[in-house]
Amino acid sequence: MKKVILLLLSIGLSINVYAQSEDEQQLKKIYDLALTDSKAYDWLNYLSNQIGGRLSGSVQAQLAVDYTKKQLDSLGLDRVYLQPVMVPKWVRGTPEFAYFETSPGLSTNVPICALGGSVATPLGGLKAGLIEVQGIEDLEKLGKENIEGKIVFYNRPMDPTLISTFASYTGCVDQRYSGAEEAAKYGAVGVIVRSLNLRLDDYPHTGSMGYGNTPVSKRIPAAAISTKGADLLSTTLKLNADVQFYFKQNCKQFDDVESFNVIGEIKGSEFPNEIMVVGGHLDSWDLGDGSHDDGAGCVQSMDVLRLLKKTGYKPKRTIRAVLFMNEENGLRGGNKYAEVASNKKENHVFALESDAGGFTPRGFSFDCSDENLKQVHSWKGLFEPYYIHLFEKGYSGADIRPLKNSDMVLAGLRPDSQRYFVHHHAENDTFEHVNKRELELGAASMASLVYLFDKYGIVK
């Protein structure tokens, strides 16, 4: 009886395997290979632990260019090359220092870091009274009479009720990016911005900021304060509005320097002039080692080429892994790639970016026509075994967006976002916070989507 059941089971199994479509088999091959023989985690280990934070224009950024180029060279691709691009070079300098003073001599230190692109404080630091606001819109209500000569403290927290933490981030990031430019219009002397982090902890989170058209002489220094520091400061201010805040930072903007996008390519066998891009950004902020943002996206993109090759798949279209330089504080790499593509009249049909962390993939968001999204939905069943279920219209990625035209499909990998902003742009964006399997599942999901779009093409 046992034997009969086993026999029936094995017939059932073999019928099942036999009935698997070519696509099901190819996705299974990709996922199996990613989970047993991926290079992504080793590459990330090197980028993170041997090179570290890779801010544009830094020695580390150049080492990352050299390393990833060498690794791509070792994959036996059809072409690996560097694309020159001029990038801004901003340097943090010595560690920042801050405290608030409730009465003369009675001070409490708080963790801060300069925002990327900020000017320095005066050499001896900056000390002034504080005014807390919940956003840029409060400035007008308060007016110059309440702001002039003070440090503006932006303290609107990320909304914890939004399930997509990227949506909470979007709801607050204006304070960081434009807070200094706007506060300077009302005579503020500096700004302190609550870190874009949903967790209460002691890490300040940096990120880019801009001064718009503010003349150099009117630019005021901007720093982020940790979420715990922000809460402490806010509570203290409610008890004592006369708190003085001191901070010191000596960051500096240098002239632009040359850097590179790193590109690896498999030439298409049927339509070599139709180009598909898969990418992430190679630069990172300097506080951590940029493992999630965006070392993960780079090594996943490199692994997409490797996985497709190793499964024996011959792409019909040309597939490029592009590691973009300078996403964080300038987007020069993404803009340069699109500019060169347009000058060369290259026909990009598809681009996929991974820049939302190396966490468990949930699916993809698409910037494309309804017809193309419909085609993606027809592949839903293929992704189901891998718990990839999110296929919605939305944002793709900063680096690939400059390529956008109405005929192409732009997509972004959407990993689970709950822990992303705990690490984003902070000292704790480090290798040990990336899970090997989660990273590999992301690479496999990307390779699968690239495979399907290559095989079936985009709907025109």
440 scored as a contact of Zn ion (CB under 5 A)? no
Shortest spacing between CB 53 and Zn ion, in angstroms: 13
Provide, rounded to whole angstroms, the least separation between the CB of residue 243 and Zn ion. 35
Nearer to Zn ion, 293 or 427 (CB): 293
CA distances from 18 to 22, 24, 28 (A): 10, 11, 14
Residue closer to Zn ion by CB (options 207, 264) is 207
Q: Which stretch binds Zn ion (CB under 5 A): 37-45, 139-147, 164-172, 286-294?
A: 286-294
Return the HEC string of the chain: CHHHHHHHHHHHHHHHHHHCCHHHHHHHHHHHHHHHCCCHHHHHHHHHHHHCCCCCCCHHHHHHHHHHHHHHHCCCCCEEEEEEEEEEEEECCCCCEEEEEEECCEEEECCEEECECCCCCCCCCEEEEEEEECCCHHHHHHHHHHHCCCEEEECCCCCCCCCCHHHHHHCCHHHHHHHHHHHHCCCCCEEEEECCCCCCCCCCCCCECCCCCCCHHHCCCEEEECHHHHHHHHHHHHHCCCCEEEEECCCEEEEEEEEEEEEEEECCCCEEEEEEEEEEECCCCCCCCCHHHHHHHHHHHHHHHHHHHHCCCCCCEEEEEEEECCCCCCCHHHHHHHHHHHHCCCEEEEEEECCCCCCCEEEEEEECCHHHHHHHHCCHHHHHHHCCCEEEECCCCCCCHHHCCCCCEEEEEEECCCCHHHHCCCCCCCHHHCCHHHHHHHHHHHHHHHHHHHHHCCCC
CB of 355 to Zn ion, least distance (A): 4
Q: How far is the CB of 291 from Zn ion (least distance, A)?
A: 11
Shortest CB 195 distance to Zn ion, Å: 16
Of 355 and 427, the one with the shorter C-beta distance to Zn ion is 355
Nearer to Zn ion, 354 or 360 (CB): 354
Buried-exposed string 441-450: b where 16+ CB fall within 10 A, e elsewhere: bbbbbbbbbb
Closest contact distance (angstroms) between CB of 283 and Zn ion is 9
Convert residues 341-360 into a mask of x (bound to Zn ion by CB under 5 A) and - (unbound): --------------x-----
Name the residue nearer to Zn ion (CB basis): 53 or 315: 53
| Distance in Å, CB of 357 to Zn ion, minimum | 9
Between 245 and 420, CB nearer to Zn ion: 420
| Contact stretch for Zn ion (CB under 5 A) within 287-295, 340-348, 400-408, 418-426 | 287-295
Task: Compare residues 364 and 383 and give the one whose CB is closer to Zn ion.
Answer: 364
Burial of 182 by CB count in 10 Å (0-12 exposed, 13-18 middle, 19+ buried)? buried
Bridge partners (DSSP) of residue 208 are 116
How many residues touch Zn ion (CB under 5 A)? 3
Least distance from C-beta 296 to Zn ion, angstroms?
9
Cβ of residue 112: shortest distance to Zn ion, in angstroms? 22
Binding mask 92-131 for Zn ion (x = CB under 5 A): ----------------------------------------
Closer to Zn ion by Cβ: residue 186 or 285:
285
Residue number with CB closer to Zn ion (132 or 355): 355
Q: Which is nearer to Zn ion, 97 or 166 (CB)?
A: 166
Task: Report cis status (omega within 30 of 0) of the bond before 37.
Answer: no
CB of 95: closest distance to Zn ion in angstroms? 23
Q: Which of 294, 367, 399, 454 binds Zn ion (CB under 5 A)?
A: 294
Minimum CB distance to Zn ion smaller for 229 or for 415:
415
**Binds Zn ion (CB under 5 A): choice among 289, 293, 429, 440:** 293
> Cα–Cα distance between 444 and 278 in angstroms, integer?
12
Minimum distance between the CB of residue 446 and Zn ion, rounded to whole angstroms?
16
Place of tokens 């901003």: 90
In the bound state with Zn ion, the residue whose beta carbon lies nearer, of 204 and 290, is 290
- Taking the CA atoms of residue 198, residue 204, residue 209 and residue 215 in that order, the dihedral angle to the nearest 10 degrees is 140
Find, among 169, 173, 168, 141, the residue nearest to 154 by Cα: 173
CB of 58 vs Zn ion, minimal distance in Å: 16
Give the footprint of Zn ion on this chain (CB under 5 A): 293-294, 355
